[in-house]
Structure formats: structure tokens, C-alpha cells
Chains A and B, each alone.
Chain A
Amino acid sequence: MLSASQLTRTFDGRLAVENLSFALARGEILALLGPNGAGKTTTLRMLAGLIQPSAGTVRIDGEEMSRGAASRLRGRIGFLTETPGLWDRLTVLQNLTVYARLHGLEAPRRAADAALDLFGMRDRARDVAAQLSKGLKQRVALARALLHEPDIVLLDEPTAGLDPESARDVRGLVRRLREQGRAVLLSTHNLDEVERVADRVAVIRTRLVAVDTPAALRARLFGARLRIVVAQPAATFGASLEASGVRDLVADGSTLSIAVEDPAAAAPAIVRTLVASGADIQSVVHDRPPLEDVYVRLLEEEPQS
């Protein structure tokens, strides 16, 4: 649905984004990760048709986001900017109605009411935006980004500064967008959030460092591992496991970390070996390093531009 091809953007000779290529499909949530200054916001702005790339193209369903087409194609995109950007002196309803009209909706008031219902904010419709809490402002901004029912939703740090409950609501909404078949690009620093909602992750630092599912990135960087906790010192069982064919084994206290090709297939045989060796097994889990480790490893391996 949305594709970026060889996107490059310079500001006064300084590269902000270089040769960035990826695609975003319907019903997919792609998380854009990267350190501060990595070019995430610049990328979002190029995708939203707000700024032109110095080189490369953005396409929506094959149509290039050229200067001439940008105004029309922007109508297919819902963009949540980093700050809510509400008109403080206007009411919530006025804010939404103006945007419904800017998007050329036939029944702006009805669209604004529907957005308020969707976000459970009907009772706050007449409140002046300045009076809202940060979480409510963010909700209104989300409602604004979605009231024209865009195919593509770009979210720039949608849960930044929100309390845990509001952040959970926003994540729920992002999942609903996927269920509705929309393509969602989520820029965030919150790796837990990415873990919870994203189908794929794109890590950028000016260039694209990696793009894949979190599981695939883990497997690529760390391989698949089983973590087994036993009642005895783990090192006791090293020899029997190596004799059964285990090659990469780390014993630390009562925990064994074993590299395997396929955790589900390898676990029964390893458990049998341990039990036969007299181990009292307390737990067996597929060892998934946190996404933070994946992210840090990816950036460590990527030379800084």
C-alpha cells in the first residue's frame, strides 16, 4: 500500500535520511525505531507528503507522491504529529469539525461526532481544548488523524508522555486499526510498545539498519535458545547434554541456556536427557532476549554514518 524507495533527504548538505526502502501492507503495523536524530520524523514527513525527498520516491498504491499529487494523496493519510497540535481556544468538537471540512468530508459534523464516539469523548465535545489533560489531547489528536478514515496511518510517538492507562488505550486503538485493514507506521522509542503491537520493526539510523519481524531479528542476532532452570547447579549436566549433541551451552547458577535450531522440536529431547541425568527441572522456556537487546545489537553492528 505504502512504499518508500531509496528515500534520501539532506538538509544543507547534511544527510538526514539515506537510501531508505521499505513497504507497508494493508493490515500491518510497522514500527520505526531509531535513536534521536536518526531521521524518523523526517521519514514520516516525507511519507506524509509534507516534505519532498531529495532523492527516491514515496508511492501509495503505486502512485508517486509528487508535488502535484501530494495534496490529494495527503487525504489518504492520517498523520498524528509528535505533539497534539490542537487549537487551544476552540472546543474539541470545533477542532474535529474544522479538520473534517479540511478533508472535504460531506458531513463534517457527523464525522466529528463519530470520531468522538469512537474515542469515548462525546461528553467532552464542548470542552475547550486547552482544558484537556495531555492524555485527552492525544486522544483528540488521534481522532483528528482518523476522522477521514485514512488507508494509511502515520503515528509519531503516539504514547509519549501518556499515563499507562491512556497508553494502553492508544495501543488498543492501533491494534483495531490493523484489524480494520489499515496500514500503520508507528514511530516510537517505546520498545515494550513495539513488542506488543508491531508486526514488523524497521530500525533506522539515517540508513535502514534492519527491517523484519521481532522474532526474525532475534533469531538472526541471537539465534533460538532454550532456557532451562533446574534445582541443582546447572554445570552438573553439561557433560550429558554435550554427549547428546548439544553444542552451544551456557550454564549460569541453576540456569542452562542452550542454542537450538527449533525450540519446540528440540525441547523434548533435551528435557529427556536432563531427567535421565537426574535433573529436577523447574522451568523450560523459549529464551527470547528483550527487543531492547536486539535494538542495541543492531545499532552496535551498524557503523555510524
Chain B
Amino acid sequence: MTRTLALLEKDLADLRRNPSVFVPAVLTGFFTIVLPFFVAIVVPYFTGERLSESSDFQVALEMYRAQPGARALDPEGAVQAWIFQQFLILLVLAPIAGSMSVAAYSVIGEKQARTLEPLLATPITTFELLTAKVLASLAPAVVLTAVCFGVYVVGAALAARPGVYAVLLTARPLTVVFLLGPLAALAALQLAVCVSSRVNDPRSAQQLGVLVILPVAGLLVAQIVGSLVLTLPLVVCIALLLLGVNAGLMLIAIRLFDRESILTRWK
């Protein structure tokens, strides 16, 4: 544990001195936040057409009004709340996408900087090394998610109909952001670290790690077209599934991490 913490703190210190690595993550987070405001607030403002009167949102309005938490909202507020909740899942994607480069670079970066061999010459175990590497990319992702979510809620409180922001602070959205999000990020980042310890090029790791975004994007699409309602029990089920996936990925990562190949074959 001490060794994991030591390496984790080192990686975080390293990242603090290289903040530009988070520019893609911050930009992704920014656009993730802006998009629903554009759809729910800006477009109706300029077109003069209320969302609740648009036939495009009638099904959504009915679906959403069926939920007890939304009954207090007026029709326009209900559609806005529906939109804000649908786009919430993008907040899960943003930090994953943003931190992928950090994770992808984690092992191959040490190798390229020629810092891996002295590191492996210490008593650190593969589990400790990989845990530190994954957590070092996860921690900024989680912080970024929390910041984005805070801005999202404050933005909704200021710009949306009264009460919409409160919907974002209920169990389901909070579970999506603070449980499903980190677990999905963990899976993606573990995959990237796994790949990072098997390839010679960080770009390969990044490209393969991004594959994890596909199922999350699928969830978003399924929600929007109405073929899936992401209820709280379903979110918890997905979170449990991700927990198992993460445990499996760590085992696979340890098996795949081949010190000898990394030291002797990578150039």
C-alpha cells in the first residue's frame, strides 16, 4: 500500500507539473456541459418555441411526468429536466475521454522516459504498480467529473426552470455521476493501462482504451430514443457489473504485464 501511494503521489505530482495534459479533458467536459443548455435553453429562446409544445418532446414529457420527482415541475421544466438527465451520461464519458491519454501513457511513458527499469528494480509488485497507474489517471477524472457536475447543477439552477436543478440532485443522477461514472472510467483506464503495458506506442493504447466509450455512448442513444429507461435499479445493476469487470480487468492486467518483454523488447 505504501508503495502504491508513493507511486500514485509521484504520478499526481508529475501531472500537476504538466497541466496541459488535461486540456482535452477540460474541453470535453466543457462541451458536455454546454450541449444540454444549448438544446434546452438557448434554442427555445431564439426560436421562441417552447419545448413542451414541440411534438418532438411529447413522448419524453409523458415519460418524465410519470416519475414522482418530476410532478412538481411545469411542462417546460419537465422537458428541461428530461434533457438535463439524458445528457448527464455524457458527464460519464467526458472524464474517460479526457484521462485516457494519461492512462495510455502511464507504462509506455515510463519506458520511453527510461524511468521504468529503475522503478521495476525496487520491490514494487505488479499489482502495486498497476494500481498506482490506474488511480493516478482515475483521480483527476473523478475530480473533473465532480467539477463538471457542480457547474452543470449551478448552470441549471441559474438558467433552467425553477426546480430543474433539484432533479439533478436526486439518487439516480447522483448514482450515475458518482458511482457509474467512476466505475466506467476505472474500466476504461484499466483497459488503457493494460494496453499501455503491451504496446510500444501510447497512441495504440489510447485508441483501444477508447473502445470502452462505445457501450456508454450506446446507453445514451438507447435512452434518447426511448428504448431504455435508465432507472436507479438498472444503474446499480450496471455499476455492479462494472465492479466485476474492473476486478477481472485488474487480474488480466497483472497477467498481461510482462516485465521481461517490457524491459528487453521495447525500444
Contacts and interface: CB of A to CB of B under 8 A. Distances in A.
A104 interface: yes
A109 to B, nearest CB: 12
Interface residues of B, number: 28
B117 A85 contact: yes
Nearest to A154: B121
A52 B124 CA distance: 16
B118 A72 contact: no
Nearest to B10: A98
A77 B121 contact: yes
A141 B121 CA distance: 13
Contacts of B13: 89-90, 94
Contact of A98 (B6, B117, B264): B6
Interface range, A side: 20 to 34
Nearest to A73: B123
Contacts, number: 84
Contacts of A103: 122-123
Interface in B1-23: 2-3, 5-7, 9-10, 13-14, 17-18
A203 B74 CA distance: 87
Contact of B2 (A42, A77, A101): A101
- Tell which of A87, A99, A145 has the most Cβ of chain B within 10 Å: A87
B49 to A, nearest CB: 52
Contact of A85 (B7, B17, B115, B259): B115
Interface string A26-63: 00000000000000001001001111100000000000
- Tell which of B5, B114, B118, B125 has the most Cβ of chain A within 10 Å: B118
A49 B116 CA distance: 14
B119 interface: yes
Interface of A: 11, 42, 45, 48-52, 71-72, 74-75, 77, 79, 81, 83-90, 94, 98-99, 101-104, 108, 141, 144-145
5 contacts: A75-B122, A85-B113, A90-B14, A90-B17, A141-B118
Interface of B: 2-3, 5-7, 9-10, 13-14, 17-18, 113-125, 259-260, 263-264
Given A71-B123, A89-B14, 11 more contacts: A49-B121, A72-B123, A85-B115, A85-B118, A85-B119, A87-B113, A94-B10, A94-B13, A99-B122, A103-B122, A144-B118
